[in-house]
Amino acid sequence: MSQFADFYQLIAKSPLSHWLNTLPAQLSEWEHTSLHGKFTQWFNAMEKLPTLTSARLDLLHGVSADSHPPLPVGQQSGIESLLRQLMPWCKGPFSLHGVTIDTEWRSDWKWERVVLHIAPLAGRLILDVGCGNGYHLWRMVGAGAQLAVGIDPMQVFYCQFTAVRKLLGGDLRAHLLPLGIEQLPELAAFDTVFSMGVLYHRRSPLDHLLQLKNQLVSGGELVLETLVIEGDQNQVLVPGERYAQMRNVYFIPSPAALIGWLEKCGFVNVRQVDMSVTNTDEQRRTTWMTSESLADFLHPDDPRLTIEGHPAPLRAVIVAEKP
Ligand SMILES: Nc1ncnc2c1ncn2[C@@H]1O[C@H](C[S@+](CC[C@H]([NH3+])C(=O)[O-])CC(=O)[O-])[C@@H](O)[C@H]1O
């Protein structure tokens, strides 16, 4: 039986029911083609984790779960070593039955910058595009979402998400589907769509904005978080081969230029609600992500620049509505 059967059941009678025309074929293709190489190792580690019931579950202030009485130390270290087989852990942190996953990013800080400025999530149907391992999906559930669906094509993130889901208790209102945004039909069904940390990875940013709009109900809200540069409505950085060592960064607009793109795509009530410099407390190497991190990507003589000499990472949150 498909790993996604419970999701199909869940959406059968929801505004997402027409997704069932395309989704099962895409996911069964994914299930048939992905079980090889590293994915098999990740999948096996994830499968070995127990499904636990939590005596205390907190998705409002963080992502944490505890057992009562606490799990025996031996079981905690067994869980930790399975979770470490799913490294690198970029997004978090998580505190799961005595195991703290100290991730590369303080994704909770991003969430705090975002959640203050958006329509309350209680009762909403939510899509998180490029959700990584789903850290923010849990925070959406904590904020009262009816259902939070994340999409991300990276296999390891699917395994990390499922591992966390098992340790939180299994049956929650967050689901991660291993898909790219380009695989989604125009669902026009979500009350809120998040795209955080994705736009600069898209070769065609206006098409990305239109794809996001096509997922929203009329009156729905887009929450867009992305790298920006300082400048006026005519300024957009198109880095050369790399930006902060990443090869897949294409367009970094000024907030004013980005607002112009959103209005050109037909969004209304477009506003910038936050801007912040990413620092090396928010993104850093840890024992759960041991390769290079932000400190290695900044210019050794001037932290206002990347190692290539571009402006260092500055991120904005923009909120907009579909009319
Ligand atoms: N075609 C695609 N469709 C959907 N997702 C994609 C695609 N291509 C890549 N991704 C995914 O987009 C995510 C971007 S990270 C942001 C994570 C989270 N949102 C965060 O805000 O912390 C970037 C960052 O941390 O800077 C990755 O997980 C990719 O696999």
Q: What is the pLDDT of residues 80-91, one digit of tens each?
A: 999 999 999 999
Residue 289 in contact with ligand 1 by CB distance below 6 A: no
Does 175 score more than 70 pLDDT? yes
Residue 193 in contact with ligand 1 by CB distance below 6 A: no
pTM for this prediction? 0.97
In whole angstroms, give the CA distance from residue 256 to residue 236.
10
Name which residue sits closest to atom 23 of ligand 1, judged by CA: 197
3-state secondary structure of 252: strand
Above 0.90 for ipTM, yes or no?
yes
264 marked as binding residue:
no
Average pLDDT along the chain: 96
253 cis-preceded (ω within 30 degrees of 0) = no
CB 127 within 8 A of CB 179: no
In whole angstroms, give the CA distance from residue 275 to residue 253.
13
Residue 130 in contact with ligand 1 by CB distance below 6 A: yes
- What pLDDT is attached to residue 54? 81
Q: In a mutational test of the pocket of ligand 1, which residue from 30, 103, 158, 201 has the highest number of ligand atoms less than 8 Å from its CB?
A: 201
CB 200 within 8 A of CB 258: no
In whole angstroms, give the CA distance from residue 7 to residue 2.
10
CB 96 within 8 A of CB 49: no
What are the Cα distances from residue 190, in Å, to 20, 221, 234, 281? Answer: 15, 9, 32, 34
Q: Average of pLDDT values for 231-257?
A: 97
Q: Average of pLDDT values for 21-30?
A: 96
Does 37 score more than 90 pLDDT? no
CATH of 34-322, one of 3.40.50.150, 3.30.450.40, 3.10.580.10, 2.60.120.10: 3.40.50.150
- What pLDDT is attached to residue 1? 64
29 marked as binding residue:
no
CA of 55 to the centre of ligand 1 (A): 32
182 marked as binding residue:
yes
- What pLDDT is attached to residue 170? 72
Does 193 score more than 90 pLDDT? yes
Residue 129 in contact with ligand 1 by CB distance below 6 A: yes
